[in-house]
Amino acid sequence: MLILASASPRRRELLACLGIPFGVTEPRIDEGAASGRPERVARRLAVAKARAVAARQPEAAVLAADTVVAHKGAILGKPRDAAEAGAMLRRLRGRSHRVVTAVAVLPPRRRRPLVAHALTRVTMRRYTDEEIEASIARGDPFDKAGAYAIQDPRLAPVAVYDGCYCNVVGLPLWTALRLLARAGLDITHVGPAQLPPQCGRCPLRAL
């Protein structure tokens, strides 16, 4: 049995592409104020999520992930209110930033997780203040690190990205597949045709 330690509907959708049966359990951890190198923050939180769920379900393999948006040394988490969402979107507008997603897989009855992370460089388009306000009015930014989703068809905030697309959505699938294989899960039935079209040209596929 595989458990996804996440409340994110986007991670559920991505993991479902693999065709591996899984359940979902919210980790319920205190993420606190994130500071430090984005890679270390993401890895620490992914491991904490995996361990929190594994403590309740030790017979299952647990997969957890954490996504960090970083711009000029600052980590942009999920906005707490409309003012913070607007400030984040204006800060990122027309500029480049980094998105790091760490994936942790904890095999059954194991204390040491398998961990890896992916990094994507994202450049935002110059959306208008009116577009920002419309996005906030729809409630789109509030459950997303950096206050945006790359796949958002209405704001369409991203001009270009360099790296893994699914990493920015919240779960780099090629990274997850490799960790699941190392954890002993059967992934031999998973092929590129099952994955989002962006996975076919993902640089992580060749690693």
Query: Any idea which residues carry the catalytic annotation?
Result: 66
d(CA 42, CA 36): 10
d(CA 171, CA 194): 15
Whole-Å CA distances, 199 to 1, 22, 150: 25, 21, 15
d(CA 117, CA 70): 14
d(CA 75, CA 13): 25
Whole-Å CA distances, 6 to 122, 158, 197: 24, 25, 24
DSSP type of residue 113: P
Which residues does 109 contact at the CB level (< 8 Å), separation at least 6? 58, 59
d(CA 191, CA 134): 38
d(CA 53, CA 36): 25
d(CA 94, CA 98): 14
Query: In Å, how far from its chain's centre is CA 198?
Result: 15
